[in-house]
Amino acid sequence: MDAIMASVAGFTSSQIEIQTLYARQFVDITDEVEQIIAESGIRDGLAVVASQHTTAGITVNEHEPELFKDLDRFLDALAPSDDVYAHNSAPCGPDEHPNGHAHCQALLLSATASLPVIGGRAVLGRWQRVFLVELDHARPRCVTVAVLGA
């Protein structure tokens, strides 16, 4: 993962580049988010973590492999990839493929997560981690982290 950073007084934004490996992959980006917050120089404020994609979500949850299996089954049960989706009959570009299921699964997640920043650190609970959730297929993804405060 690579980060690109830009900033002005009281505001910093940075991007995390991620190469996902498979559908419904939970990519833990907590360390990268915390590094961006630390490098921002902002002591108290808010960090907004945003997916730049309609088939990848952002969530805060526990980093536990058995839980990922449960969440994978849950998302697939609600919007299975082998179901019929009108979106899949729409014309696709050269590097696109049918992904109606991934768009429907994205409705169940958020495209953003807002984290309080206190003392230059994200305020997360004991088990909380920040994830990009890949819902489509292996591909490059981009997450923007904006840190606002003083």
Domain borders along the chain are: 2-81+99-149
At 140 the three-state DSSP class reads: strand
pTM passes above 0.85: yes
CATH of domain 2-81+99-149: 2.60.120.460
For residue range 68-103, list pLDDT tens digits in order: 999 999 999 999 999 999 999 888 777 778 999 999
Closest CA to 16 of 26, 126, 34: 34
Q: What average pLDDT does the segment 10-35 reach? A: 97
Q: Name residues whose C-beta falls within 8 Å of residue 52's C-beta, 6 or more positions apart in sequence.
A: 141, 142, 143, 144
Taking the CA atoms of 15, 62, 148 and 108 in sequence, report the sign of the dihedral they define: positive
**DSSP result, 8-66:** ETTEEEEEEEEE--STTEEEE-HHHHHHHHHHH---SEEEEEEES-TTEEEEEEE--HH
For residue range 90-145, list pLDDT tens digits in order: 887 777 789 999 999 999 999 999 999 999 999 999 999 999 999 999 999 999 99
Q: Is the pLDDT of residue 1 over 80?
A: no
